[in-house]
């Protein structure tokens, strides 16, 4: 039985560039996409620091409860090698692969954590040393066509705020990179959210958004940059 738990991320949302610099590490690419046709993928970790580091891997099933990431142990995806040493300026290839056939009608989501293993402290050392921990998303496509389907609600929340709700009724994730609200399409934005994050398949999120110039009429226009391309939607403003 899988035991769910929650955990914080040093880096939770990754997008944009083909690689990520995190402390003394560089990762390429930022995530892995697996499927029946492509059951394996490669992620390369590079040590850009000035000392060798030991890195251990942990691969967990990933879901979301609102804004909270929720993780559970899983043996459905494997990452290897599970632990390795990275000398200065060296790179390590990590292979990620499915351990069983794809049989779900919904995209499955995981995170692969790279965690630095700190060396034993030197005699007399009394400082605090932070170990780097980075989680990269792993997406496993189902055996049927997969697409996100976002359904929006906007509720008035006082004079200058909107409570924005979204539910993904599709069978694949969408990552919101920038989300802007305006009175109508093409008008200046009343508010902008940067890095709102992921909306996983079958899951929901919400944000309370403060508008610069108060609420518009009875509708609000949403425009977003996403990992699936641009998004536009007109949403009726509802009373609380």
Here the CATH number for the domain that contains residue 219 is: 2.60.40.1930
Asked which of 140, 160, 188 is the last residue of a domain, the reply is 140
Across 213-229, average pLDDT: 90
pLDDT for 17-48, tens place per residue? 444 444 578 999 999 999 999 999 999 999 99
pLDDT for 61-74, tens place per residue? 999 998 899 999 99
The reply to whether 114 and 204 lie within a common domain is no
Residue 106, judged by CB atoms within 10 A of its CB (0-12, 13-18, 19+), counts as: middle
The reply to whether 97 and 27 lie within a common domain is yes
Across 176-203, average pLDDT: 94
The reply to whether 71 and 113 lie within a common domain is yes
The reply to whether 154 and 204 lie within a common domain is yes
- Structural domain including 72 reads 4-140
Sign of CA dihedral 65, 202, 205, 98: positive
The reply to whether 108 and 212 lie within a common domain is no
The reply to whether 75 and 170 lie within a common domain is no
The reply to whether 156 and 44 lie within a common domain is no
Asked whether residue 171 is domain-assigned, the answer is: yes
């Amino acid at each position: 039985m899988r035991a769910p738990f929650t955990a914080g991320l040093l880096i939770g949302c990754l997008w944009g560039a083909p690689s990520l610099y995190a402390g003394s590490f560089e990762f390429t690419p930022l995530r892995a996409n697996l499927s029946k046709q492509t059951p394996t993928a490669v992620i390369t970790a590079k040590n850009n620091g000035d000392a060798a580091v030991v890195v251990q891997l942990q691969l967990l099933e990933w879901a979301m409860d609102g804004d909270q990431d929720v993780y559970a142990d899983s043996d459905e995806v494997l990452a290897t090698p599970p632990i390795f040493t990275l000398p200065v300026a060296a790179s390590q290839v990590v292979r990620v692969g499915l351990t069983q056939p794809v049989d779900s009608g919904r995209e499955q989501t995981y995170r692969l954590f790279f965690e630095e293993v700190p060396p034993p402290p030197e005699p007399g050392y009394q400082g605090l040393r932070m170990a780097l921990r980075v989680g990269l998303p792993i997406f496993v496509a189902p055996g049927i066509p997969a697409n996100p389907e976002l359904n929006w609600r906007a509720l008035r929340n006082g004079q200058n705020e909107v409570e924005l709700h979204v539910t993904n009724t599709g069978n694949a994730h969408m990552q919101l990179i920038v989300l802007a609200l305006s009175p109508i399409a093409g008008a200046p934005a009343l508010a902008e959210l940067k890095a709102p994050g992921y909306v996983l398949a079958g899951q929901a999120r919400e944000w309370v958004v403060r508008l610069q110039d108060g609420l518009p009429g009875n509708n609000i226009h949403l425009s977003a940059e996403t990992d699936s391309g641009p998004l536009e939607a007109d949403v009726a403003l509802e009373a609380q």
